[in-house]
Structure 1
Amino acid sequence: MVDRGATPATAPAGSVPDDWPARPEVTLALNRMGGFDWDLDTGVLHMDASALELFGLTPEEFNGRLSGLAGKVLAADAADLDAQITRALKEGRETYSAYYRIRTPDGALRWTYAQGRIRRDGEGRPHRIIGIVRDAAEELGHSIGRRDENRLSHTTIVETLTAALAHARTVQDVIDFFRDDRAVQHLGSDLLVLGIVEAGRIHMVAEGPGEHYVPGTRWTRIDDNFPMSDVIRTMAPRFIESREEFARSYPWLWERIRDTGISSAAYLPLIAQARPVGAIGMLYRETRGFTQQERNLLIALSSSLSQSIARAMLYDQEHDLAEGLQQSMLPRRIPEVPGAQIAVRYRSARMGRDIGGDWYDVIPLPGGRVGAVIGDVQGHDTQAAAVMGQLRIVLRAYATEGHAPATVMARASSFLHELDTDRFATCAYAEADLSTGVVQLVRAGHIDPLLRHTDGTCRRLPVSGGLPLGLSAEFGRLDYPVTTVEIDPGETLLMFTDGLVEQPGSDLDEGMQRLSAVVRAGPYELHQLADRLCDVIGERVGEDDMAVLLLRREGAATRGGGRLQQHIAPADPEALSAARHMIRAAVRAWGARERSDEIELVADELVTNALIHTDSAAVVTIRIITGPERRVRVDVEDRSSTLPRRREPGESGVSGRGLLLVDRLADVWGVESRGTGKSVWCEFVVPGRHEVYDEAGESV
């Protein structure tokens, strides 16, 4: 029999403390270790008190989301951490681990270690990460150590520095590394300074440990009497082996640093592609000489650092170029469109990747219409941004020329195919008449838009689609079906790129469901809603950029009143089809279904006459006229001053006979001269607003 109350055999000798053995939470807290539980489906992140303490946060300050840790983790380390988590999720791994630096409330940097175990559902999708975080400062301090304590060789220092800077992508990443107090331990010195050549001068960008800024040395000239100036000017290292040598060679600087106890120093030029990019100074409190082996190894150290800085400078230049190119390609401003509220947002990927080809555009059109475009060019580089800019311009040009939505998309696809590029693009284009709420949608391999109703509910709009731009032209499938919907005043059309909904480990439908939930719970004010959608990107791991366009129809809901207009270019059958579709939808929206066939037939005849007999574009306008009698009026304008002539059946030929049809079907018609041509118009009496129709268009 085992005595359950007996003291375990492993108990300490003598009396057993009341709290022995220590509870798990006590053990974790004493060793500066905390736990976290991250729900990937909802984005909720739970961190216990010990974990929050490591990040310098109180439970009241933490919002329970990943965004609550923003600014705590060093940017370069955050990118690496995101990359490791994403790879673990994609590759189906069960665990991940990483070291990273966090910024403490006093501004210092401290190493931290995190390890997480990934939980997946029955279908293998990741839905939860449970793990620990702990203080790694002492651990890394023991592994790296100070030079005086562990006597690390200079070879180890060079290797350690190279490894530490391997992931530095930007110049700021390099600067952050050298501003860390632990940088002097990497280098085996007591103090260090780092200067970068900028615009012909030397900019002191980092000192360590802590701030040892000497007034007058933040910016210096290359021809000044400073050790950094000497090594940059001569592109040769400078070794100072005693306090006397320092005072003799640089008296002004020595007077200002002598109290720091510095006795010797090594200043090394940073040279890349045969030109100096900066210099680093390692200062020691001991008086020492530098053997030839030490000098050679320190020169090797400067070479490694030079490559890191040169690589970071090149990355910064390329990124600035790409970002500037993209910003110049996106619209500088979104025009104000009467009858609509519009909000747009663009967010680049969170993981430090180059910008991509996501874009948006808003195109004011005649007759109270507006075009809205959202698209995504394949790739994340300057070529993607350049192709994006060209596509945006041609789409705008085709739309403003008056082409129907399907024609705009087909011509844009042909343009991209002829660019001699291997890129394709997905795109969605919406042409909305704000007076009636009729929206014509076309889609080229893009994600369906969402529609948010006035009560906050949200639904996906299934839009018939064609192949992505470029591919449809390559395979000869340029047909883009048009989907027509109606949006009421106060309703919002949401168009976006896949970066908003795609997430590692889940499919598109799940992403759309999550987005719909965010939209339903989001604020009503349009710009606040757009900001909330951007926050979705900040709360999860993501590798893609994102563009979003929100269009809300304004005005009071009315039945009757309104105006639609369509520009029809010669030899554009898609535009003629789109005009028929527009008329049919408008007549239905206005409650005049019983006369829709007559109105569509007459309008088609007038448009055909304008295109055949004038050899120019036509503009068809349909609007509702209220008064004693409620009428639908159709106007067809062209640039010819020749008036149409009605011919009797007995005359030879067939030209002009269509006007007989117009005369029979329309209640009244006529011709008006315009300054640049003429307008043929006709009117149809339709039921008043008090009449109600069923789904078949019959009066009830």
Structure 2
Amino acid sequence: MTGQHRPRRDGYDPRTGRDPRRGTEDAPAMYRHEPVGLHTRLSLNRMGTFDWDLDSGRMILDSGALAVFDLRADEYDGRPQSLSARVPADEGRRMDSTLAQALQDGSSSYGVYFRVRCRGGALRWTHTQGRILHDGSGLPYRIIGIVREATGELADSALLRSRQQERQRQTVMVQHATAALARALSVEDVTRVLADTEGAQRFGADALLLGLVTEGRFEVITTAGLAGEVPEGMTHSWVDDTLPLSHVVRSRRPTFLSTRGELIARYPRLRRYAEMLPAGSSAFLPLVAQDTVIGSLGLFNAEPSVQSAEARNLALALAGVVAQSLQRATLFDQEREFATQLQATMLPRGVPSITGGELIVRYHPASVGRDIGGDWYDVIPLPQGQTGLVVGDVQGHDTHAAAVMGQLRIALRAYASEGHTPETVLVRASRFLAELETERFATCTYIQADLESGALHVARAGHLGPLISDSSRHIDWPEIPGGLPLGLATVFGHDHFPETQLFLEPGSTLLLCTDGLVEQPGQDISAGIDALSEAVRTGPAELETLADQLSDQLWAEPGSEDDMALLLLHRLPGPGPATTPRLRLHIHQADPAGTAQVRSALRRTLDQWRAGAVTHDVEVAATELIVNALTHTESGALVCVELLPGTPRRIRLEVEDRSSQWPRRRSPGETATSGRGLMLVEALADRWGAEPRGSGKALWCEFDVPDAGDGAEKGHAADAPGAPGAPHAPGPEPGR
């Protein structure tokens, strides 16, 4: 056709309105309107037909089919086996398998893709499809079909699959990056996501740089995948056009470069850092949030490439995700800083010095999330040289909890400063919290410490009790009867916090803490308590170092999500004579478990005192005297155990009640079920007796403690009441 074509007036012409490119025709010449037969039509489309007589084994190929197999007519003898010159053996076996399966299944057609080796040795894809004809009995006797070139078809299909895979890869990339950044709360979390082992890969890159704008200066805050440490010349700059990251901040437009050479040519300042930059393509993207450029992101690839429009759009979308995450994280950090400062103003600015002891405190806010906790500590100077120690935790993790904590700390400090007993201090604090306009409760342990005598008066409200480590690193968690949490105790009408007296020996250390130090999500708190005990037992002797190690080992390293308060009090060895170790416990008459708790506390205390064989005797005597006091009086019992110095050392047990009735001697018969309590005490103790005490009395008994090297057991069996030589002090007539 010469000249411009003219569109037909009576039908559709695809050339209308277009300018078709002129091409070279390799088909045989034919006239414009010459009729074209079927075989020629097929051949023009690289397609041919075959007719296979299964009975005779002859297969007829037309000229189009011969062209598909790249055969001349004289190279094909009508036998299918002669096609083996063009069909590789493995492809022929695959075709035979497909046809055999179709014949076995009784199918009427089959189709298969296979490769043909052309005359020059090149392989090209081919497709065949055949119609299987069956006779009257259903047996196949003939196959008529087509063969055609399929290389272009499969290439288009492969391209389509490649594009689909690329879209899927991009979708997965966006999903992974979005999911990872969605969990990032702070700016530090965002940088951690970008700098981890998969950071650059999430953005389809081999390396990245992330920087933020602060007061007109640009600062790189994280890197990943670069060779070596990024020099300061690349990490800090003014917002200008000398470096790519600061340039895109200034221009607000992304920059895409194909090679490292192109990057250095555009930004000569990077020439000195060329060795650490990947050799391939790079992208520099402004991070825009709410129409404000907050920073920029640089992505580097190892291989040079011209980035497609889809790749550029993907990079911009990922940059948008990073910008939103950074903006959210920046607001979070600002809120958290405000809340942390609010909480810090409500905690003591320092702790007073203590005569005769060393005191160390640690507080750490929650390490995860924007929440702040209600944990607190306090050290309160008290009258007569005593010191009040407080550790507590207000329910909740928010600014309201911090506000309640501040009010409660001030109130408790005021009550303690007035010199009230620990129980009274906690009762008043509970009533104060109940009267606040809040539904929060608080746990708390309060101790009045007298380091001159070593006496510790302890009361607790739903909180962990103290840990005591003596000079030989023996760890003890004394059983401290406690009440309900502050606030709840008053609401439920049970604002009673029994007081327990402990003794802190010279060289011993007292530890108070909140549950953030011993409790981890998904772990039983007993495991945390055991870990704390072991850490104190094996930890350093220096108190500052011990406090830091406990904080790091039990709170920071496990990544605790809770806040934590820790208080350590060490009693220094005094220059004067050693004070008397003492344990004081009060048992209420209506407390059925009180006697068992006293026995448990006695065992632990006597073990610390290394009482040895007399431990059992003291425990039995204490049980008998306590039961007598609870049974025969209308009051509770105050139990006091002391370790008296001398040679030998003596353990003195006193049980005090408020009854003025003096004990009476009883002589129980063989079948009597009571009346033997004082007889047992007399038999087990080395001395015993009774003393008037104000409105009541105290029954006491003493036990000599054998030296550690003395293996002889006390022979109480020979020291029966009235036996010659029994070392008993004259006592009152046995009564109860």
> TM-score category by the smaller chain?
0.5 to 0.7
Aligned equivalent of 1:312? 329
Q: After the TM superposition, which residues 556-595 of structure 1 pair with which residues of structure 2 at under 5 Å, given as runs?
A: 556-558=576-578
Provide Cα deviations, 1:298-326, integer angstroms capped at 9, x if missing partner.
Answer: 22111111122223333333343344344
Q: How far is 1:369 from its partner?
A: 0.7
Aligned equivalent of 1:478? 495
Aligned equivalent of 1:668? none
Between the aligned partners of 1:695 and 1:498, the Cα distance in structure 2 is: 51
- Aligned pair in 2 of structure 1 residues 401, 207: CA closer, same or farther (>3 Å)? same
Between the aligned partners of 1:695 and 1:450, the Cα distance in structure 2 is: 40
The answer as to 2:459 corresponding to 1:442 is yes
Aligned equivalent of 1:329? 346
The answer as to 2:483 corresponding to 1:463 is no
Between the aligned partners of 1:693 and 1:549, the Cα distance in structure 2 is: 45
Q: How far is 1:372 from its partner?
A: 0.5
Between the aligned partners of 1:172 and 1:450, the Cα distance in structure 2 is: 36
Q: After the TM superposition, which residues 282-297 of structure 1 pair with which residues of structure 2 at under 5 Å, given as runs?
A: 282-283=299-300, 290-297=307-314
- Structure 1 vs Structure 2 CA RMSD: 4.6
The answer as to 2:539 corresponding to 1:553 is no
- Aligned pair in 2 of structure 1 residues 488, 189: CA closer, same or farther (>3 Å)? closer
TM-score, structure 1 length as denominator? 0.52
Q: How far is 1:278 from its partner?
A: 1.0
| SS at structure 2 position matched to 1:461 | coil
Q: How far is 1:544 from its partner?
A: 3.5
Aligned equivalent of 1:274? 291
- Aligned pair in 2 of structure 1 residues 201, 696: CA closer, same or farther (>3 Å)? farther
Q: How far is 1:217 from its partner?
A: 3.5
Q: How far is 1:287 from its partner?
A: 6.7
- Aligned pair in 2 of structure 1 residues 438, 184: CA closer, same or farther (>3 Å)? closer
Q: How far is 1:261 from its partner?
A: 7.7
Aligned equivalent of 1:372? 389
Provide Cα deviations, 1:373-407, integer angstroms capped at 9, x if missing partner.
Answer: 11112223343334333322332232223333333
Matched to 1:298, the amino acid is: A
Matched to 1:493, the amino acid is: L
- Aligned pair in 2 of structure 1 residues 528, 156: CA closer, same or farther (>3 Å)? closer
Between the aligned partners of 2:225 and 2:401, the Cα distance in structure 1 is: 43
Between the aligned partners of 2:425 and 2:468, the Cα distance in structure 1 is: 23
Provide Cα deviations, 1:471-495, integer angstroms capped at 9, x if missing partner.
Answer: 2333344333333334443343332
Aligned equivalent of 2:449? 432
Aligned equivalent of 1:170? 186
Aligned equivalent of 1:395? 412
Moved more, 523-532 or 299-308: 523-532
For the 8 Å contact 1:201–1:221, the answer to whether it is kept is yes
Q: After the TM superposition, which residues 51-70 of structure 1 pair with which residues of structure 2 at under 5 Å, given as runs?
A: none
For the 8 Å contact 1:152–1:188, the answer to whether it is kept is no
> Which ranges in structure 1 are unaligned for 5 or more consecutive residues?
1-146, 561-583, 599-691
- Aligned pair in 2 of structure 1 residues 502, 263: CA closer, same or farther (>3 Å)? closer
Between the aligned partners of 1:304 and 1:328, the Cα distance in structure 2 is: 36
Moved more, 413-422 or 286-295: 286-295
| SS at structure 2 position matched to 1:270 | strand
The answer as to 2:189 corresponding to 1:157 is no
Provide Cα deviations, 1:517-559, integer angstroms capped at 9, x if missing partner.
Answer: 5545555544454455443446768554432222233424456
- Aligned pair in 2 of structure 1 residues 588, 180: CA closer, same or farther (>3 Å)? closer
Provide Cα deviations, 1:559-613, integer angstroms capped at 9, x if missing partner.
Answer: 69xxxxxxxxxxxxxxxxxxxxxxx99999999999x999xxxxxxxxxxxxxxx
Between the aligned partners of 2:532 and 2:195, the Cα distance in structure 1 is: 40
Between the aligned partners of 1:514 and 1:287, the Cα distance in structure 2 is: 55
For the 8 Å contact 2:241–2:250, the answer to whether it is kept is no
Between the aligned partners of 1:247 and 1:516, the Cα distance in structure 2 is: 60
| SS at structure 2 position matched to 1:374 | strand
Between the aligned partners of 2:539 and 2:304, the Cα distance in structure 1 is: 65
Aligned equivalent of 2:33? none
> Which ranges in structure 2 are unaligned for 5 or more consecutive residues?
1-162, 581-637, 646-651, 659-726
For the 8 Å contact 2:203–2:315, the answer to whether it is kept is no
For the 8 Å contact 1:436–1:586, the answer to whether it is kept is no
Matched to 1:362, the amino acid is: V
Q: How far is 1:427 from its partner?
A: 0.4
Match of 1:363 among 380, 395, 400: 380
Query: Between the two proteins, what is the percent identity of the paired residues?
Result: 45
Between the aligned partners of 1:173 and 1:463, the Cα distance in structure 2 is: 42
Aligned equivalent of 1:73? none
Matched to 2:220, the amino acid is: M
For the 8 Å contact 1:378–1:424, the answer to whether it is kept is yes
Q: After the TM superposition, which residues 25-36 of structure 1 pair with which residues of structure 2 at under 5 Å, given as runs?
A: none
Between the aligned partners of 1:348 and 1:697, the Cα distance in structure 2 is: 60
Between the aligned partners of 2:301 and 2:505, the Cα distance in structure 1 is: 74
Max Rg structure: 2
For the 8 Å contact 2:208–2:226, the answer to whether it is kept is no
Between the aligned partners of 2:639 and 2:372, the Cα distance in structure 1 is: 40
TM-score, structure 2 length as denominator? 0.50
Match of 1:195 among 211, 218, 242: 211
Between the aligned partners of 1:482 and 1:551, the Cα distance in structure 2 is: 20
Matched to 1:162, the amino acid is: T
Q: How far is 1:186 from its partner?
A: 3.1
> RCO higher in 1 or 2 (8 Å CA, sep ≥ 6)?
1
| SS at structure 2 position matched to 1:278 | strand
The answer as to 2:226 corresponding to 1:210 is yes
Aligned equivalent of 2:126? none
Match of 2:429 among 408, 412, 416: 412
For the 8 Å contact 2:456–2:503, the answer to whether it is kept is yes
- Aligned pair in 2 of structure 1 residues 172, 497: CA closer, same or farther (>3 Å)? closer
Between the aligned partners of 2:543 and 2:516, the Cα distance in structure 1 is: 20
Q: How far is 1:504 from its partner?
A: 5.7
For the 8 Å contact 1:559–1:590, the answer to whether it is kept is no
Between the aligned partners of 2:302 and 2:541, the Cα distance in structure 1 is: 63
Between the aligned partners of 1:588 and 1:261, the Cα distance in structure 2 is: 77
Provide Cα deviations, 1:102-148, integer angstroms capped at 9, x if missing partner.
Answer: xxxxxxxxxxxxxxxxxxxxxxxxxxxxxxxxxxxxxxxxxxxxx9x
Between the aligned partners of 1:551 and 1:181, the Cα distance in structure 2 is: 44
Q: How far is 1:445 from its partner?
A: 1.3
Q: After the TM superposition, which residues 74-113 of structure 1 pair with which residues of structure 2 at under 5 Å, given as runs?
A: none
Between the aligned partners of 1:242 and 1:516, the Cα distance in structure 2 is: 60
Q: How far is 1:430 from its partner?
A: 0.7
Match of 1:185 among 201, 216, 229: 201
Between the aligned partners of 2:653 and 2:257, the Cα distance in structure 1 is: 95
Q: After the TM superposition, which residues 636-647 of structure 1 pair with which residues of structure 2 at under 5 Å, given as runs?
A: none
Aligned equivalent of 1:500? 517
Between the aligned partners of 2:198 and 2:455, the Cα distance in structure 1 is: 63
- Aligned pair in 2 of structure 1 residues 490, 274: CA closer, same or farther (>3 Å)? same
Q: How far is 1:415 from its partner?
A: 3.2
Matched to 2:236, the amino acid is: W
Aligned equivalent of 2:598? none
Provide Cα deviations, 1:423-456, integer angstroms capped at 9, x if missing partner.
Answer: 2210011112233333322211112223334444
